Amino acid sequence: MRRRELIALLACSAVAWPRSAQPQPSTKLHRIGIIDNSPIWDAFREGLREHGYREGQNIAFEYRYAGGLPDRLVWVAAELVRTPVDLIATFGTPPTLAAKQATATIPIVMIGIGDPVGAGLISNLARPGGNITGNTVLGPDLASKRLQLLKEAIPSLSRVGFLWNPDNASHSAQLTDLKAVADVMGLKIILASARSSDELTDALTAMTRDHPEAFLMTSDPLHLLSIPTIIAFLASNRLPGMFPTREIVTAGGLLSYGASLPDLFRRAAAYADKILLGTSPATLPVEQPAKFELVINFRTAKELGITIPPALLGRADEVIE
C-alpha cells in the first residue's frame, strides 16, 4: 500500500526544471559516456527521452565496464575521455572520482553520491565550482537513520553487520556516523569489507562468525550489482536486513529507507540536458532528495518470525504483503 504520493509529487515539482522554459535539444549528435551500465540506467535514458533526446538521432551512448574495480575504473574513464564524449554520467563515488581524475574539462553528471563534498568531488553543494554536478543520496545522515529504524523494528537488537567498500570515499563518513550512533544506542557494529564481487561472500561469511542479529549496507554500486547474492545469503542465515532502496525490499529484503534510486537517475537526465544545451556544471547546484521512503516487506518479516511494531508499520510509505 502506497501513501503520500501527493506530497512526493509536490516536492519533486518544486525542484524540477519546467520543460516549457527550456530550449529544445539540438539536432547535433551528443555522446554520453556511461561507466558500468546496468538496468538502473534505463531510468536515466528514459529521462533523456522525456527531454526530447532520441538515440541515434541526437544522442549516442558510449559504454565502458569496470566492475567497480579501482584500477579498471581509472582506465575506462580515461578511455571515455579519449573517445571523446560530450559528457560522462557516473553512479556512485568511485566511478565519479575516476572520471574526475581523467578530465577537468568534460562535464560529469554524478548520481547517488553519498558525500560529494567529503569525497573531494565538489567544493560545495550550492555551487560545485568545477566540471561536476548531479545529485546526492545524503549518505552520512541516512546511515544512522537506518540504524535507528532497524532498532525500532527489532527492539532486542544488539549486534548489527555492516557491509561497506573501503575503496568508496563516501563510506568513511557513513561509518564514522554509524559507529557514533551505535555507541549511543548500545549497539555493536560488525564490519564486512568487500572491495570487489570476489570478496563479497567471504566478507559476509566472516561477518556471521561474530553473530550479527541484523544487517545494514550502503548504496555502493558494486554491492548493488550483487543484491541477489546478498539476499540469498541473508535468507540462508535468517538475517533481517535494512537496505538503501525499495527495489531490494521487493526482492526479499526486510526494510529500506532512502531516496528513490530510479528517480535520482531520471532527474540526473535534466542535468545532462541543461549541460548539453550549454549550461556550465559549475553553476548547477547539486540536488538533494526531496523525499525519503520507508518500505517494509511484511512477508519477509513473517518468514523471519519478526513482529513489526504497529507504529512503524503506520509510518511506512509502502508495506509489501
One DSSP character per residue, 115-156 reads -TTTTTS-S-SS---SSEEEEE--HHHHHHHHHHHHHHHSTT
Q: Are residues 43 and 104 in the same domain?
A: yes
Q: Is residue 27 classed as helix, strand or coil in its secondary structure?
A: coil
* Average pLDDT over every residue of 135-164: 90
Peptide bond into 84 cis (omega under 30): yes
Judge whether 288 lies within some domain.
no
In this predicted structure, what is the pLDDT of residue 143?
80
CB 91 within 8 A of CB 112: yes
Q: Are residues 21 and 122 in the same domain?
A: yes
* Average pLDDT over every residue of 298-317: 95
Q: Are residues 101 and 159 in the same domain?
A: no
Judge whether 218 lies within some domain.
yes
Q: Are residues 186 and 307 in the same domain?
A: yes
The lowest-confidence range among 111-115, 231-235, 312-316 is 111-115
Check pLDDT > 90 for residue 81: yes
Q: Are residues 113 and 202 in the same domain?
A: no
Q: Is the dihedral of CA 195, 199, 205, 210 positive or negative?
A: negative
237 alpha carbon, distance to own chain's centre:
26
Judge whether 180 lies within some domain.
yes
In this predicted structure, what is the pLDDT of residue 27?
72
* Average pLDDT over every residue of 31-53: 96
Q: What confidence category does residue 20 fall into, taking pLDDT thresholds of 50, 70 and 90?
A: very low
Provide the residue range defining the domain that includes 222: 139-258+293-320
* Average pLDDT over every residue of 155-178: 89
Q: Are residues 27 and 122 in the same domain?
A: yes
Q: Is residue 306 classed as helix, strand or coil in its secondary structure?
A: coil
In this predicted structure, what is the pLDDT of residue 17?
44
Check pLDDT > 60 for residue 140: no
Q: Are residues 82 and 214 in the same domain?
A: no
Cell of 65: 565496464
* Average pLDDT over every residue of 44-67: 96
Q: What confidence category does residue 139 fall into, taking pLDDT thresholds of 50, 70 and 90?
A: low
Q: Are residues 28 and 155 in the same domain?
A: no
Domain count, the chain: 2
Q: Are residues 276 and 220 in the same domain?
A: no
* Average pLDDT over every residue of 232-239: 96
Q: What confidence category does residue 153 fall into, taking pLDDT thresholds of 50, 70 and 90?
A: very high
Q: Are residues 232 and 246 in the same domain?
A: yes
Which residue, among 155, 149, 164, has the nearest Cα to 249 in the 3D structure? 149
User: CATH code at 273?
Assistant: 3.40.50.2300
pLDDT single digits (tens) 237-275: 999 999 999 999 999 999 999 998 899 999 999 999 999
Q: Are residues 113 and 248 in the same domain?
A: no
Check pLDDT > 60 for residue 181: yes
Check pLDDT > 60 for residue 5: no
Which residue, among 224, 232, 172, 238, has the nearest Cα to 201 in the 3D structure? 232
Q: Are residues 127 and 269 in the same domain?
A: yes
Check pLDDT > 90 for residue 118: no
Residue 25: partners with Cβ closer than 8 Å, 6 or more residues away: 51, 52, 53, 58, 273, 276, 277
217 alpha carbon, distance to own chain's centre:
11
pTM of the complete model: 0.82
Q: What confidence category does residue 2 fall into, taking pLDDT thresholds of 50, 70 and 90?
A: very low
